[in-house]
Amino acid sequence: MSKVHNFSAGPCILPPEVLKGAADAVGQFNDLNLSLIEVSHRGKDFIAVAEKAVGLVKELLEVPEGYSVMYLQGGASLQFLMTPYNFLKEGGTAAYTNTGTWAKKAIKEAKLFGNIEVVASSEDRNHTYIPKGYTIPENADYFHITSNNTIYGTQVMEFPETSVPIICDMSSDIFSKKIDVSKFDVIYAGAQKNMGTAGATLAIVKDSFMESSGRAIPSMLNYKIHASKESMFNTPPVFAIYVSMLMLQWMKDIGGVEKIAEMNKAKAELMYGEIDRNSMFKAVVDVEDRSEMNATFVLNDDSKQDEFNAMWTAANISGIKGHRDVGGYRASMYNALPIESVQVLVDVMKEFESKNA
């Protein structure tokens, strides 16, 4: 079977080694004659998996002391609710940026808990840029920002300097480049883009920030309870955590976040270089805000769409149609996507131009 070049925006492509390791564990885990998905989540074999998964997060991101690392459930969508529940005080205010669909959903959930001030928005240009130069109110309980916007293809290159606690949704670019965790009070990310499979959500929370809202918080939505139980308050997503552990180990083995960042930069430069060079296509995002994870582009002549679609399909390329809300094309280049796949897409684009220009 010919290799499929998987540009899916999520769930993401995973390395062959991770897929094999996950498949093997489902059949036979730790020579127990049991499947990974059959063993007790409180048994020593899975406890070792969970501890390693947490340890690799701390190691790869250089998480400082005073932070708890948790594997939760519900995706980033539940984090949209948990963050204001835990950190937005009664009668308080939180500051948000609106840079796309997921940021807007976070704002919607937060409004259930208090006053939300949208301090910056890119909605005026259909989210094709990242706002800059805005002011974050000093009295805000926290400031929420989305680091990468998968649908529109924008990415925050520099986070604002502020004394206000920062909460960041890093669902689609965590582990893609080096970050200073100490600048954030909360980082959360669905696992299914860069660090595993759907079903687990990573939360990195500053211990001193927990329960700062003063609210009575239901147990399942309380970060402090999840942290105290080491992600075992309820039955954790066993398979998703195992796959995440394998993916994190793969990252470590190939050189860690610094090596991943180098690879991601090379893929993005190759992809955007062709978009800008090719007379048949154009990028939709401001150059300085282009995401290294999700390159969005459109045809200059929509009448050629069927021809281009047929060409990339014939080349065993999958998942490059743009989100239904914006159309066009989106090449998602998450951590496990090899640059060889990007080259195949670039070659198709070149061939398409040679036939039509």
Give me the active site residues, please.
102, 169, 193
Comparing CA positions, the residue from 352, 339, 340 lying closest to residue 329 is 352
How far apart CA 240 and CA 246 sit, in angstroms, is: 10
C-alpha distances in angstroms, 337 versus 15, 68, 291, 328, 333? 8, 29, 15, 21, 6
* Cα atoms in the Cβ-side hemisphere of radius 13 Å centred on 15: 21
Which two structure tokens, joined as six digits, stand for 87?
């950190």
Q: What is the distance between the terminal CA atoms of the chain, rounded to a whole angstrom?
A: 33
Comparing CA positions, the residue from 67, 123, 37 lying closest to residue 325 is 123
Which two structure tokens, joined as six digits, stand for 122?
């890119």
Are 155 and 148 a contacting pair, CB within 8 Å? yes
Write the DSSP assignment of 261-309 as a string of letters.
HHHHHHHHHHHHHHHHH-TTEEE-S-GGGB-SSEEEEEES-GGGHHHHH
How far apart CA 197 and CA 211 sit, in angstroms, is: 29
C-alpha distances in angstroms, 161 versus 140, 189, 210? 14, 22, 22
Beta bridge partners, 243, equal none
How far apart CA 357 and CA 353 sit, in angstroms, is: 5
| C-alpha torsion sign, points 20, 25, 27, 30 | positive
| C-alpha torsion sign, points 105, 110, 112, 114 | negative
